[in-house]
Amino acid sequence: MAYPGYCRPVGFLRSLGHSPGLWRLLLVRLTSQLSEGAFQAALALSILFNPDRHSDALAIAAGFAVLLLPYSVIGPFAGALLDHWDRRRVLLWVNVFRAAAIASVALAMGTGAPDAVVLLAALTVTGASRFIASGLSASLPHVASRDVLIEMNAFFTTLGAGLLAAGFGLSSMLRAIFGADDAGSAATLLAGAVITLVSGLLAAGFPRRFLGPDQPDDAGRSALFAVAHGLGHGVRAAATTTTVATVLAAIGVHRFVFGINSLMMLLLVRTSDLGPIRGHDVGAIVVLGAGVAVGALAAAFTTPVLVHRIGRRWTIAGALLVAAGAELGLLYLSWTTICGGALLLGLAGQTVKLCGDLAMQADISDTYRGQVFAVQDAIFNVAFVAAMFLGAVVLPADGFAPGPVVFASCLYLLGAAVVWLRHPRRGGYPGPSTTRSAIPSPSVSSRK
């Protein structure tokens, strides 16, 4: 199958210069990812590896629940605001709110507040982060041509992952400077607030309505009305678009398994000696995270090629089959198999995620796109937290049991079967000739 023009490296790179808004949106995305990485690392290190605090498996699961579930409940409703208000203003003011929320978490940490109080303050940060991420994804079709969307998603995701990792490194460095206790953790957290304000200022540079929505959902109605009907609109749009419904099922399966694996690895590195990395060592988490990141980086290069050559159906189903095999490999518990599994699961998960972003950006009307991305976030987080709680119940104290590993592999196989049976055979990459009245040309000259 021949590639469209923009899929060739020269054409793709040339397309980057066609819209100044593309570069600004990329900078907003990168600074947002940097601040998110810094905040996540500072929070995790402050609670999991803080000499003043101690957490068991249920406490870890409860912490993720507090952080992720509240927004998962309200997100599909709040996502309607992305399709009702000017997305530029949303990205600006939610970043300002997020910076203030990070400062409140730092205050709670610095004053020695209990974990529950710190996590309750942190949930507002997490909610704002997911809201910003949905807004950025919904805005991308306004600054990139349709025939290069998956390459742009891969490009944004690759650089974003690098900045996320840089944020982790920044917090680790600041932690070494300020200390691992509550006071040092508070100082480390504040770095994320500063970077978040920079992201908001960059978003403020877009012209009004440049990022959409062009035809606001429930135009003429109040924001309260839009929020009240947001869940119904988002779920209906996703459920009635087969390509989106099937990829959301695949994303849910992967996130559920990823939740079980995450808790398993956290317990293992704290209680076991896995080859060169001893238990209770932050280095083990860093190495495993790097393995997942390398897999995700590889997906940024392989997914566009696979989607163009074999279509989304084959690509998603194949990724889930690879994940099923990688999961079974964890039965042979060793540092080598765990690192290899992290890489392959990162590759498979990011492949599915990129296909999901493409489906929602290309197959969903701009009028409902923000709401559908919010529904995806809800599935993303609820599946992860549910798996965490299941893992806290069924996993032993050292973190490893063969039963959950086999169960997780079977879930991947079930997900692959659903995708194969339900996803349209011709669900590949939509070229520029596909009609979509809700997506305007990204050329600057057409903006007023």
The CATH code belonging to domain 233-422 is 1.20.1250.20
Q: Most confidently modeled of 27-36, 163-172, 279-288?
A: 27-36
* Whole-number Å distance between alpha carbons of 429 and 306: 10
CA proximity to 32, closest of 264, 202, 158, 272: 202
Tokens 């995790």 appear where?
44
- Confidence (pLDDT) at 341: 96
Q: Counting Cβ atoms within 10 Å, is residue 271 exposed (0-12), middle (13-18) or buried (19+)? A: middle
Do domains 18-218 and 233-422 share one topology? The answer is yes
| Interior angle at CA 403, CA 397 and CA 405, nearest 5 | 90
**Contact criterion met (CB below 8 Å) for 341 and 329:** yes
Q: Which two tokens stand for residue 39?
A: 């905040």
- Confidence (pLDDT) at 1: 37
Q: Which two tokens stand for residue 388?
A: 């965490």
The model's pTM: 0.80
3-state secondary structure of 277: strand
Name the percent of the chain lying above pLDDT 70: 80
- Runs of H (alpha helix) within 272-334: 282-329
Segment 6-60, tens digit of pLDDT: 444 555 566 666 667 888 999 999 999 999 999 988 888 887 666 666 566 677 7
Instruction: Name, in order, each residue with C-beta under 8 angstroms of 7's C-beta and a sequence gap of 6 or more.
Output: 148, 151, 304, 308
CA distances from 414 to 320, 409, 442 (A): 9, 9, 39
Omega within 30 of 0 (cis) for the link into 213: yes
**Contact criterion met (CB below 8 Å) for 303 and 351:** yes
* Whole-number Å distance between alpha carbons of 64 and 82: 25
Residue 406 CA from chain centroid, whole number:
26
- Mean of per-residue pLDDT scores for the chain: 83
The end-to-end CA distance of the chain, in Å, is 39
CA proximity to 92, closest of 193, 199, 20: 199
Query: Which residues are bridge partners to 277 per DSSP?
Result: 274
**18-218 CATH fold:** Growth Hormone; Chain: A; (1.20.1250)
CA proximity to 372, closest of 190, 245, 206, 258: 245
- Confidence (pLDDT) at 230: 64
* Whole-number Å distance between alpha carbons of 168 and 40: 7
Segment 309-331, tens digit of pLDDT: 999 999 999 999 999 999 999 99
CA proximity to 359, closest of 412, 428, 296: 428
Our CA dihedral for 132, 391, 118, 38, rounded to 10 degrees, sits at -50
Q: Is the pLDDT of residue 156 over 70?
A: yes
* Whole-number Å distance between alpha carbons of 62 and 385: 8
Instruction: Name, in order, each residue with C-beta under 8 angstroms of 396's C-beta and a sequence gap of 6 or more.
Output: none
Domain ranges of the chain: 18-218, 233-422
Segment 180-237, tens digit of pLDDT: 888 999 999 999 999 999 999 999 999 998 998 887 755 556 556 666 666 778 889 9
* Whole-number Å distance between alpha carbons of 88 and 214: 12
* Whole-number Å distance between alpha carbons of 440 and 141: 8
Tokens 């990022």 appear where?
211
**Contact criterion met (CB below 8 Å) for 175 and 184:** yes
CA proximity to 380, closest of 403, 416, 349: 349
Q: Is the pLDDT of residue 255 over 90?
A: yes
**Contact criterion met (CB below 8 Å) for 228 and 77:** yes
Q: Which two tokens stand for residue 274?
A: 């896995």
- Confidence (pLDDT) at 7: 44
Specify the long-range contacts of residues 3-12, CB closer than 8 Å, at least 24 apart: 3/308, 4/147, 4/308, 4/429, 4/431, 4/432, 5/147, 6/145, 6/147, 6/148, 6/151, 7/148, 7/151, 7/304, 7/308, 12/148, 12/151
* Whole-number Å distance between alpha carbons of 365 and 387: 32
